[in-house]
């Protein structure tokens, strides 16, 4: 079985000490950088944009996993490729022509991800799952860090895992929102491959240790 991965969400970092926090992730057992881009339209919050991602990319030495919470994401696919994104995730709810968007992401040299809001059933991906490298199941309503985990997520993970196996797809499952050492094991046991963690990592005393422990629990 593939090892389960940890992707700290930079949204919860200290932006006044961004380079320090990026280096912390570089030096930890974390696998990916999770980058949350919000536009204040698709979600009721604005996070940060291209100049900040450029600064992060300059120092980050691990996979950059960019989560776009924006309307009409097609406008920025090439921009995010140029900024060093390795995996670009768009929201199912923000794409009118999802299949076309996925092809455009791959044509720009990135892996293609699709995020689902808590209210969106996984069945909507039945006809595209073979074209999707990663499905990000939102376990909170997107827009803010530090929210509590929605329990219905476990059921969605198992159902999605079943769909992936049945369709012989090569899709990874990522969980985003409210991940802690309390739900990590249950999520990976249900089929999750990557756990995003913002507040749980950055609000802890010893962030390197927290990442290490979370990874051990996810893989236990």
Point out which residues bind ligand DX5 (CB under 6 A).
9, 11-12, 34, 36, 67, 140, 142-147, 176-179, 196-200
- The answer for residues whose C-beta is within 8 angstroms of residue 10's C-beta and 6 or more apart is 18, 21, 22, 25, 33, 34, 35, 36, 56
**From CA 185, how far away is CA 81, in angstroms rounded?**
33
* Residue 6 contacts which entry, Zn ion, ligand DX5, none (Cβ below 5-8 A, type-dependent): none
Least gap, CB of 11 to ligand DX5 (angstroms):
4
Least gap, CB of 143 to ligand DX5 (angstroms):
5
Provide φ and ψ at 56, rounded to 5°.
Answer: -65, -50
**From CA 92, how far away is CA 89, in angstroms rounded?**
9
Nearer to ligand DX5, 147 or 158 (CB): 147
User: Which of the residues 21, 31, 36, 65 is marked catalytic?
Assistant: 36
Angle at 94 between CA 194 and CA 83, to 5 degrees: 60
Q: Is residue 176 within the footprint of Zn ion (CB under 5 A)? A: yes
The residue ranges of DSSP E strands in 73-159, in sequence order, are 87-91, 111-116, 134-138
Nearer to ligand DX5, 77 or 195 (CB): 195
User: Which of the residues 39, 65, 133, 176 is marked catalytic?
Assistant: 176
Active site residue 36: yes
Nearer to ligand DX5, 172 or 197 (CB): 197
Active site residue 74: no
Least gap, CB of 211 to ligand DX5 (angstroms):
12
**From CA 110, how far away is CA 112, in angstroms rounded?**
6
Nearer to ligand DX5, 5 or 11 (CB): 11
The side-by-side arrangement of strands in the sheet containing 63-69 is 5-8, 194-197, 172-176, 134-138, 111-116, 87-91, 63-69, 32-38
**For Zn ion, what does the binding mask look like between residues 49 and 68, x meaning CB under 5 A?**
------------------x-
Residues that bind Zn ion (CB under 5 A): 36, 67, 176
């Amino acid at each position: 079985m593939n090892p389960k991965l940890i992707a700290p969400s930079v949204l919860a970092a200290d932006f006044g000490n961004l380079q320090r926090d990026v280096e912390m992730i570089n030096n930890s057992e974390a696998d990916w950088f999770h980058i949350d881009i919000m536009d204040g339209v698709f979600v009721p919050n604005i996070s940060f944009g291209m100049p900040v991602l450029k600064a992060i990319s300059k120092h980050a030495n691990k996979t950059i996993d960019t989560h776009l919470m924006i309307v009409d994401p097609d406008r920025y696919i090439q921009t995010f490729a140029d900024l060093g994104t390795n995996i670009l995730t768009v929201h199912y709810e923000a794409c009118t022509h999802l299949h076309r968007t996925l092809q455009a992401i791959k044509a720009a040299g990135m892996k293609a991800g699709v995020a689902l809001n808590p209210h969106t059933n996984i069945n909507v991906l039945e006809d595209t799952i073979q074209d999707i490298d990663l499905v990000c199941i939102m376990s909170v309503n997107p827009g803010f860090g530090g929210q509590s985990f929605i329990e219905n997520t476990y059921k969605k993970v198992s159902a999605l895992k079943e769909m992936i196996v049945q369709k012989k797809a090569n899709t990874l499952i990522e969980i985003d929102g409210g991940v802690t050492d309390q739900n990590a094991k249950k999520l990976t046991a249900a089929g999750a491959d990557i756990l995003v963690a913002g507040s749980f990592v950055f609000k802890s005393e010893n962030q390197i240790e927290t990442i290490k422990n979370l990874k051990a629990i996810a893989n236990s």
